[in-house]
Structure 1
Amino acid sequence: NIRHDHLHHITSEIVKREPSFICIEDLNVNGMMKNRHLSKTVQQQGFYEFRRQMEYKSKWNNIQVIIADRFFPSSKLCSCCGKIKKDLKLSERIYKCECGNVIDRDLQAALNLKKYGEDVLKRSVA
């Protein structure tokens, strides 16, 4: 119940900030569940429930939810030059690009998802 309550609180907090859109990744949860080292942790995170709550709470508040394609390289794409680093390992937490960009991997993914969402909105308006 603590995890379930936390999901409600965090999704409500995100929606209360009234963003112009919310962009999340479509993750391959079934594939992650096959990894015996990750399966228990992935199961406990409640990714499906998080997405479900984000979608219905956003709909109530007229906030568009954009789902990034499962194969969008959010972590591997440089937010400065746009080059994709194909050999990025999951253990590498700092992203270092040839252009000089050095950034936390999660922040890099967040910036790329923001840009992805903005691009989707621009295409839908045009």
Structure 2
Amino acid sequence: PKAISKYEKKLAKLQRQLAKKKKGSKNWNKQRVKVAKVHEKISNTRKDFQHKLSSKIVYENQVIISEDLAVKNMIKHSRLAKRISDVAWGEFCRQIEYKSMWYGRTYHKISRWFASSQTCSACGCVNKKVKLLSIREWVCDHCGTIHQRDENAAKNILQQGLKELGLFA
């Protein structure tokens, strides 16, 4: 969520001020409380964002399919580690899962090993040359369809999930 960055700047400033105070003093305690309040604000903002978005997704869809991602590995090896952490993907999926049960929707996770971005969504041909994340657009060698990596992966995840649920041939 974009709103978190505003609070993170404020948090950094307050933490710098806290570092300058003498530990255990009244001013240090006052500053520590201010820092804790901003931490709580960030946490509440993240939770609010997750609840609103997960509710919207569940409310608007009968079937929700996601990929069972290895978030720990994504955080270790990514420039986007901070953003991935901010979204708290595991908690977000957990919320979608329990809200799906509440509202009688179907939620399904497909295997992380399914080659969603390497498979052509038009013909089903797997292109092993597209493994690198830097390749954002590619052309299928078999049918000539031009694919944008993320859109193609989303289509394939949907198709695979529906196939696993027995809703798609």
Q: Which residue of 2 aligns with 1:84?
A: 126
Tell me which residue corresponds to 1:62.
104
What is the TM-score when the length of structure 2 is the normalising length? 0.66
Moved over 4 A (4+): none
- How far apart in 2 are the matches of 1:83 and 1:36? 28
Aligned to 1:120: 164
Map 1:20-39 onto structure 2 (within 5 A).
21-35=63-77, 37-39=79-81
SS of the residue corresponding to residue 85 of structure 2 reads: helix
- 5+ residue gaps, structure 2, are 1-43
Aligned mates of 2:158, 2:71 — CA distance in 1: 22
RMSD (Å) for aligned C-alpha atoms? 1.7
The separation in 2 between residues aligned to 1:122 and 1:38, in whole angstroms, is 35
**Distance change in 2, residues 1:61/1:95 (3 Å):** farther
CA drift of 1:40 comes to 2.3
Q: Structure 2: how far apart are the matches of 1:18 and 1:90?
A: 29
How much does 1:81 deviate?
Answer: 1.4
**Distance change >3 Å, CA 26–CA 36, structure 1 → 2:** closer
Change (3 A) 1:116 1:36: closer
Larger CA deviation: 62-71 vs 31-40: 31-40
How far off is 1:102 after superposition? 0.8
Identity among equivalent positions (%) equals 39
Q: Secondary structure at the match of 1:33?
A: helix
Counterpart AA for 1:14: I
SS of equivalent to 1:22: strand
User: In structure 2, the residue corresponding to 1:87 is in which secondary structure?
Assistant: helix
Please say which structure displays the higher CA radius of gyration: 2
Tell me, in whole angstroms, the C-alpha distance in 2 between the residues paired with 1:12 and 1:96.
36
Q: Which protein has the bigger helix share?
A: 2
Distance 2:64 2:159 in 1: 11
Give the letter for the 2:137 counterpart: I
Higher relative contact order (CA 8 A, sep 6+): 1
5+ long unaligned stretches in structure 1 = none
Q: C-alpha distance in 2, partners of 1:121/1:23?
A: 10
Aligned length: 122
Q: 1:102 to 1:29 in 2, by over 3 A?
A: same
